């Protein structure tokens, strides 16, 4: 069983930046697709960014501000978040498919396609 652990959350003012990290408990994490999700209080969890062999995908509201990346072997997956707004606040989760391949591109994976989840890291943005 692989465990994912997020870090890097915190409190920033609007316009600031944070870099979130997701670390797998194995040196090499076999995943075709990994993603960052977020959930604001009272709202449903939503996908923010995906990274897979077919490239990266972002939700429209973060395009041009967020960058998802990962190290070779996929032990670490990052989310660089720039020019943060109060709408970006919430708990951020990383997720991986655990090596289970689905016949569709990474960017359209749903929550159910991800087998491994972290516990989340909190992001607070003040105006």
pLDDT 10s digits, 100-125 = 888 889 999 999 999 999 999 999 99
Q: What is the mean pLDDT of residues 33-44?
A: 97
Q: How does DSSP assign 30-58, residue by residue? A: --SEEEEEEE-TTS--EEEEEEETTEEEE
User: What's residue 102's pLDDT?
Assistant: 86
Distance CA 51, CA 69 (A): 7
pLDDT 10s digits, 65-96 = 999 999 988 999 999 999 999 999 999 999 99
User: What's residue 68's pLDDT?
Assistant: 98
User: What's residue 101's pLDDT?
Assistant: 86
pLDDT cut 70: percent of the chain above it: 100
């Amino acid at each position: 069983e692989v465990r994912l652990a997020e870090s890097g959350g915190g409190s920033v003012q609007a316009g600031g930046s944070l870099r979130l990290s997701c670390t797998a408990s194995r040196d090499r994490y076999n995943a075709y697709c990994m993603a960052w999700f977020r959930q604001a209080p009272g709202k449903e969890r939503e996908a923010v960014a995906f990274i897979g062999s077919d490239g990266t995908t972002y939700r429209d509201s973060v395009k041009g501000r967020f960058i998802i990346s990962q190290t070779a072997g996929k032990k670490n997956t990052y989310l660089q978040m720039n020019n943060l707004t109060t709408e970006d606040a919430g708990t951020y989760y990383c997720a991986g498919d655990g090596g289970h391949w689905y016949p569709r591109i990474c960017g359209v994976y749903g929550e159910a396609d991800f087998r491994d989840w972290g516990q989340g890291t909190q992001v607070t943005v003040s105006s």
